[in-house]
Amino acid sequence: MLFTATGFPADARPPLHPGCLPPHLEIDNREPAFSGVDENAPGRPGVSIVQHGGYPELHVDGRPFFIHAAAFFYARIPRSLWESTLDRYREFGINTVDLYIPWNWHEPQEGEFDFDGHSNPRRDLRSLLQLLTRKGFRCIARPGPTILNEWRHGGYPEWLLERPEYAMPALDRIEGRYPPLANLNSRNAEAAARGWLDNPVHMSYASKWLTAVARELAPYRASQFATLRGAENDRTQKKQPQENAPQSAAGPLLFVQLEDDMALGRLNIVGPAFWRYLETLRGFLEAGGLDTLAFINPEDMRVTAAGFGLAQPIAAMGQWYLRPSPASATERILNAEDASSLEFFVEELKTQPAFPPLIIEYQAGWYAPGDDSRPPPNPASNTLLSTRLLLAHGLHGINYFPLQDTLFPAGYETPWTNHHYRWDAALSLNGFRQARARAVERTSDFLELWGSLLAASHKRADFGVIYPLGAFSPNARDPGAATVHEALGKEDIAQISQTILRLERLAHLAGLASELLDPEYQPVEQLLRDPILLLPVFDAEGKNLSMSDRAQRALVEYVRRGGMLVTFPAPPQGAILGEMWKARPAQPRELPSGARAWPFGAGQVLAISKDFYTWVAPEEDFATGRARFEADWAISALRGIFEYAKIHPAVDRLNPSPASSALVITELASNEGTGLLGERSGGSGLLSVTNLNPGESVEALLDVLSPRAGAAIRPGDTLPLRLTLPPHESLLLPIHFSLCTARTAEKSCDDELTIASAELLRAERSSKTLELAFYAPSRASARLRLRERPSHLSLDEGHLQANWNPDTRELEIEIPRGVAPDFKRVLQVHLPYIPAVPERPEIKHAHPPAGRLLNYSAVGAVRLPLGEDTSLLADPPLFSIPAGHAGDIVFAGENLDESSHDMELRIDGPLNGAATIGIPGHEWRSLHMKLHPEKLESLSAGLRGATSGSTSSGTDPLLQGHLTVSAAGQSTQTPVYFVVVPEKGATGYRFDFDRDANPEWVLENSGLRLIVSPEEGGRAVALVDKASGANLASTVGFFADHFAFTPNPPAINPVRAHGRYGLFNRNYRAEWLEEQAGRALRLSYRAPDVAPAGARIEKTIRLLEGNRFAVDYDVVLETEEATSPRGAVNPFAAPLPAGVEQAFVAVNSVATHFGGAQSTLFCWPVTAPPPEVAGAAGAGTPAHCETFAPGRALFSLPPSASRLEVRTPGKPTVVMEWKNAVMTVEMKIYSALLRLEFSKLRPGGASARPHVEFTLVPAE
């Protein structure tokens, strides 16, 4: 990794603080590679962090690089979908892929590493890295050892956690929970690090793992170069690289993460052992040849910059999630408090002196819990607002975590996670668009033009705020300071951080922008970015909260060199800072607010003794805060400082109103042109405007300080702008956007888009016509400066009028609102000269990949439902064919070429068929293929020869053929499978729908398809009514086995309680039963963790006639003597508390609906129906019904009840019938848990043999 620094004049750059930057930092006075937004500028190959104007920038191959990344959970995605999924990521403008590399996934057995997929195709990391390189992605690797991504055991191999050195409780291990030190790390990272360091077994195996994975990654580090052919690195399909032209590029690996979720939270404890542990892990990677810059991923770390106190820095990338209340069914709408947290988190990251602010885990939402089918409700608008607010505060990179919903391989989820790892992300597992897709596209469309500028810009702060925790706390460069943590208690930390949040909120209420600065780690030249610094002084009940000498010297030097330091509410402690108070005159100047000012060196000190900020409540909305009676005086006092200093705010609101308080407004200025103390010598920028009001448009009249003007007040330095922003909308508006970006532009060219109230997405030319594409969700204006007057203007092929000022050569244009939902407007400016912007490329469809002219999809094949609204298509295709009927299967074909082509599909094997269809260029067509009925009849006759009463571990009646697809002289062949379903009775077969190397077991008859995963607790993951196509099971599943009592620690989080999710991840033994009515499925498991000494569960599932199915259980509690022979200790043994009895609980999760008359009903007969009407949905019997309401308190049916109907309008009714059990209904947000608790069990006593029957009644 190369670090360089540019931007300040040589005579203005003071020496950097020792230790703040790497010892191999190169101070370079060269001109930066970035100029304007020229994407074609040549640059230095590889990756570097460049200091420019006092701000760090990430440069890749010599150009500023904005990381627009997505987590790619390859272990949760079928191998056959990897390439198509990455192509979808590219379409969304993703340029970087984030890879978690789970240890237990790649070393399933001790010493047996699988990086090539020989044990499971999803483990083929080598092919994945090659694929990323070929497609032109950059990469961030996260190999652990710990991976807290809701992944089994936090990524640790189970064979390792069995070692006593890990002190892993047996119950935690069998449930797949995180190791103890991983949990401790979230509270006390220092103690956790000491525990890891003191465990020689851990350090030895972690060394082997990290060295092994480093050897896989090392060839792809950015300092390595590869010559590629036909690199797929263009998103837009506009520029066509020469086919198979060799391209040379730096390796894709940008950074590597150490551990996971380290130093979470500002109350967490970090000390010398923490940093020693991380440095040791980095050494393991280096031993494998990987010298890439390392980082950690804290959320709200107490001292984010602390890693820059090391001789070789360890950077920090942040996290931000919009966590809704799990029990709340109300939409979680982003609010003012969230906006404040976004600002605070970005500002913490910006205190790192030599690393740009990046967020490695971002999602405006949360994942689906283990007992519901979807995440809590969260509108897609939150994604747009939160990403734009992150950019508004100067973020240089974001990683969607995730961009896509995925699916766990069987048994690898944690207890509290659904096996469908669903976030309601932008893409489904199949790569289909979902609600958040539009927000991601908005960002990617913008980054296509503006990405380089955002990577080389900063939020223009009106003042800085000293965040002193780094100066109060022990840090990486002072390993002996271990007692300060006790001196600085949690209350002190909370007081300090709450003060900073209040000051940031007060700045917003005053129409000002602030940034956080850490004088312990940031050099004086970075403090000198701001003309004014606020230093809050804390009195912690007599504790010495004097800042370190290093921080004090930095602040004194800042004032001596011309800065203004504002202290409050008392003079700061410390002898070095005291020098400035010694220079205080007897009669300092008094400001109207009561502040007293005096000079020191070239700068000034302002002391404020009045309380102007403690009234601020960051949890309030902006309008409420602004309406407080304290607000006027506090805002006047704060702005009075700027009036005294003759400093103009970056953005002035000229007509503030209660409605406009919902606007979050900041200016982003290019690092180019940045000088000391708010001065600027040029550059360009963006105006960020976000409306947090979900129901009201807001108008504003703004006075925007030009990014070419310094903060000192001078006439003509501001740009007026009037705008209207619709509800929950956010815009990034151009300021001084150069229209001289073509390589052929003359130096004298000064054409520009001066300012606009619509978002600029594209600037191109066609001959002498300048084309500007805008996103305009409301009426807008644009102001251009051009060399000559245009001959005429047009907008989307229509004409419009504009004002031309010959003296200033400015053109003012009114832009009508664009057409929903894209709101695009294209302005064409016809000029008498050729504008100096890139020529509009000819729009062409991308050439089909080599050897592929057409895509096809077996749309009529069997799918794996993933809840109600999405599914995974079987691959290879599997078709379900009813016996005795002509087979008719459906395919879809896509023509990737510009010319029309005929597509021929032919199936050969036990079943035969063929079909041909013509497909125009770049279009889809569907086609039907008929199979020969006489062969179906003969094959189905052969299936009826099974012997009743026999068992089988896996013989499948699947028929395999081959599908050949031909077009334009090319052909491809793939296997195809058929299951012939008998007219009467059931068939059973295995098929790996999710391609995780653990086939699902399927029971199917003419009306039902029941898909069971033995490795996931023997649950049915789908129940499909074939007539309607409806899946009646949620992704939590049917047939989940629970028990009434599981011991838990007293303070455990209820969401993560032991036993809450039953035996969700246990590997059941499965076998077929060959019976007269067809196949049945028997599942069995011995559960050693069921209190008091274990249990044996056996359940047999049968499909019955008439859309009915049943499950018969055989459950017995074992005795401790039986489970602990010859005096052996049963690690799971847990005596039942006095008065507590154990019982078996069968849990089924059904999909539900909420909304008036369409809501799901739970109904049971008031009196028991006569036997002859059982299964007939009540047949007129009086019933009591409860209406589904998300999150409603659970309720129990009367003990005498033996039947429940789940009625959802438009869907089949699910009828359950049982005996001698109590039914409890627990309503989640999108589903309901139906809990049947059977009779009490006694260890060594008789087994429970309940029988539960289900009927699906067709919808009316």
Q: Write down the pLDDT at residue 326.
A: 60
Instruction: Give me the mean pLDDT over the 992-997 stretch.
Output: 95
Q: What are phi and psi of 1106, to 5 degrees?
A: 75, 45
Final residue of a domain: which of 609, 632, 647? 647
CB distance 257 to 140 below 8 Å = yes
pLDDT at 950: 59
Asked if 1012 and 1067 count as a contact pair (C-beta separation under 8 A), the reply is no
For 110-120, what is each residue's pLDDT tens digit? 999 999 999 99
Mean pLDDT of 257-271: 94
Task: Determine the pLDDT at residue 1170.
Answer: 52
Confidence at 1260, pLDDT banded by 50, 70, 90? confident
pLDDT at 323: 87
Mean pLDDT of all residues in 617-632 = 94
Q: Is 720 within a domain? A: no
Q: Counting beta carbons within 10 angstroms of the beta carbon of residue 363, is it exposed (0 to 12), middle (13 to 18) or buried (19 or more)?
A: buried
pLDDT tens, residue by residue, 154-172: 999 999 999 999 999 999 9
Residue 1047 in contact with residue 1134, Cβ under 8 Å?
A: yes
Q: Give one word for 170, left, alpha or beta, with left for phi > 0 and alpha for psi -120 to 50.
A: alpha
Residues 142, 207 contacting (CB under 8 angstroms): no
Instruction: State whether 864 and 928 are in the same domain.
Output: yes
pLDDT digits (tens, 9 = 90+) for 1096-1110: 999 999 999 989 999
pLDDT at 743 over 70: yes
Residue 935: closest CA among 885, 982, 981, 878: 885
In a domain, 124, yes or no: no
Mean pLDDT of all residues in 12-26: 32
Q: At what angle do helices 125-134 and 82-91 cross, to 10 degrees?
A: 30
Q: 49 pLDDT exceeds 90?
A: yes
Q: Are residues 949 and 890 in the same domain?
A: yes
How far CA 471 is from CA of 489, 525, 568, 632, 763, in Å, comes to 15, 18, 17, 33, 47
The pLDDT of residue 473 is: 64
Phi, psi of 492 (to 5 degrees): -65, -45
Q: Which of 450-454, 469-473, 523-527, 584-588 has the lowest mean pLDDT?
A: 469-473
User: pLDDT digit string (tens) for 1072-1096?
Assistant: 999 998 999 999 999 999 999 999 9
Query: Is residue 52's pLDDT more than 90?
Result: yes
> How confident is the model over 325-339, as pLDDT tens digits?
766 778 899 999 999
- Identify the domain boundary among 625, 647, 669: 647
- Asked if the model's pLDDT at residue 1153 lies above 70, the reply is yes
Among 157-161, 467-471, 667-671, the range scoring the smallest mean pLDDT is: 467-471
Same domain, 1212 and 1139: yes
915 lies in the same domain as 1053: no
Encode pLDDT of 1207-1221 as tens digits: 999 999 999 999 999
Parallel, antiparallel or unpaired: strands 1078-1087 and 1095-1104:
antiparallel
Q: What is the pLDDT of residue 178?
A: 95
In this structure, are 957 and 1042 located in the same domain? Answer: no
**How much is the pLDDT for 798?**
67
* pLDDT 10s digits, 999-1049: 999 999 999 999 999 999 999 999 999 999 999 999 999 999 999 999 998
User: What percent of the chain stands above pLDDT 70?
Assistant: 88
Neighbours of 927 (CB within 10 A): 18
Q: pLDDT tens for residues 487-516? A: 678 888 999 999 999 999 999 999 999 999
User: Phi/psi class of residue 1127: alpha, beta or left (left: φ > 0; alpha: ψ in -120 to 50)?
Assistant: left
Lowest average pLDDT, out of 306-320, 346-360, 902-916, goes to 902-916
Confidence band (pLDDT; 50, 70, 90) for 713?
confident
Token digits for 651?
């953005």
pLDDT over 80 (residue 67): yes
Query: So what's the pLDDT on residue 44?
Result: 64
pLDDT value, residue 800: 80
CB of 884 within 8 A of CB of 940? yes
For 696-711, write each residue's pLDDT tens digit.
999 999 999 999 999 9
DSSP of 846-898, one letter per residue?
Answer: PPPPTT-SEEEE-TTS-EEE-SSS-EEE-SS-EEEEETTS--EEEEEEEE-SS
- Check whether 995 has a pLDDT greater than 90: yes
Averaged pLDDT for residues 545-561: 94
Question: Does some domain include residue 388?
Answer: no
Q: Are residues 953 and 1059 in the same domain?
A: no
142 φ/ψ angles, rounded to the nearest 5 degrees: -135, 85
Q: Which of 28, 44, 65 is at the close of a domain?
A: 65
Query: What per-residue confidence (pLDDT) applies to 309?
Result: 93
* Residue 28 binned pLDDT confidence (cut-offs 50, 70, 90): very low
CA dihedral for 435, 436, 438, 439, sign (positive or negative): positive
Q: Are 687 and 733 in contact (CB under 8 A)?
A: yes
Q: Same structural domain for residues 489 and 599? A: yes
Do 1030 and 1132 belong together in one domain? yes
State how far the Cα of 1037 lies from the Cα of 1056, in Å rounded to an integer: 19
Residue 1 has pLDDT above 50, yes or no: no
Strand partners, 1003: 988, 1010
The residue that leads in pLDDT, 422 or 1134, is 422
Say yes or no to pLDDT of 797 above 80: no
Q: Is residue 1094 part of a domain?
A: yes
| Dihedral class, residue 1173 (left if φ above 0, else alpha if ψ from -120 to 50, else beta) | alpha
C-beta separation of 328 from 1191 below 8 A: yes
Per the CB < 8 A criterion, the answer to whether 760 and 806 are in contact is no
For residue 224, tell me if it sits in a domain: no
Distance set, CA 481 to CA 310, 836, 1242 (Å): 15, 59, 58
Q: What is the mean pLDDT of the chain?
A: 88
Q: Are residues 512 and 638 in the same domain?
A: yes
Residue 30: its pLDDT value, please? 29
pLDDT in tens, 831-886: 999 999 999 887 665 555 555 667 888 888 999 999 888 999 899 999 999 887 76
Cα 912 to the chain's mean position, in Å? 46
**Residue (of 706, 695, 824, 697) closest to 754 by Cα position:** 706
Q: Length of the chain in residues, anyone?
A: 1260
Q: How far is it, in rounded angstroms, from Cα 955 to Cα 362? A: 46
Out of 93-102, 557-566, 793-802, 1172-1181, least confident range: 1172-1181
Q: What is the DSSP string of 1005-1017?
A: -SSEEEEEEGGGT
* Strand order, beta sheet including 959-967: 878-882, 970-981, 959-967, 901-908, 913-919
559: its two tokens: 């004032």
Q: Show the domain range for 1041.
A: 1008-1257
pLDDT at 14: 31
In a domain, residue 1124? The reply is yes
Which tens digits make up the pLDDT trace of 382-420? 999 999 999 999 999 999 999 999 999 999 999 999 999
The predicted pLDDT at position 389 comes to 98
Q: What is the 3-state secondary structure (H, E, C) of 77-137?
A: CCHHHHHHHHHHHHHCCCCEEEEECCHHHHCCECCECCCCCCCCHHHCHHHHHHHHHHCCC
Burial 7-32 (b: 16+ CB within 10 A, else e): bbeeeebeebbebbbbeebeebeeeb
Specify whether 1073 is located in the same domain as 943. no
pTM for the model: 0.93
The C-alpha atoms of residue 857 and residue 874 are separated, in whole angstroms, by: 10
Task: Answer yes or no: is pLDDT of 486 > 80.
Answer: no
Assign 683 to helix, strand or coil: coil
Same domain, 880 and 944: yes
Tokens for 384?
A: 């747009």
pLDDT grade for 822, boundaries at 50, 70 and 90: very high
CATH number of the domain enclosing 1170:
2.70.98.10
Q: Record the tokens describing residue 1213, joined without a space.
A: 């009714």
Please check whether residue 788 is in contact with residue 818, taking contact to mean a CB–CB distance below 8 angstroms: no
CA-to-CA separations, 134 to 62, 252, 290, 1096, in angstroms, rounded: 21, 10, 21, 51
1135 inside domain? yes
> In this structure, is residue 833 part of a structural domain?
no
Q: How far apart are CA 142 and CA 100, in angstroms?
A: 5
| pLDDT tens digit sequence for 834-848 | 999 999 887 665 555
Best CA proximity match to 560, nearest among 540, 537, 538, 533: 533
Domain count across the chain: 4
Residues 938 and 1034 in one domain: no
Contacts of 1037 (CB under 8 A, 6+ apart): 1013, 1016, 1017, 1019, 1020, 1021, 1148, 1149
Instruction: Give residue 716's pLDDT band: very low, low, confident or very high (50, 70, 90).
Output: confident
Find the mean pLDDT for residues 800-809. 90
